[in-house]
Amino acid sequence: MPLFEYECKECHHEFEALVIGTRTPVCPKCKSENLQKRVSTVGFAGVGGGWGRPSSGGCRPSGGG
């Protein structure tokens, strides 16, 4: 289920909504359907748990030794 960011054109409230199928979300503040989908930055956990890029294999020690 994709998570989208919206801004209400009526009251300018910004919110996120899970969109299931073709359902159109409504503003949780004023209940308007007059919404603008916003561009959002997507973050994801890589295979090793790192953010934004895939892991090349586990944790590496920091420092000398």
Query: Is the pLDDT reported for residue 5 higher than 70?
Result: yes
Cα separation, 42 vs 45, whole angstroms: 10
pLDDT tens, residue by residue, 40-58: 666 555 555 554 555 555 5
Contact residues for 55 (Cβ-Cβ < 8 A; gap 6+): 46, 47, 48, 49
50 is written with which tokens?
């790192």
Mean of pLDDT values over 16-34: 92
Average pLDDT, the chain: 77
- The predicted model scores a pTM of 0.57
Rounded percentage of the chain residues whose pLDDT exceeds 90: 40
**Model confidence band, residue 18 (pLDDT cutoffs 50, 70, 90):** confident
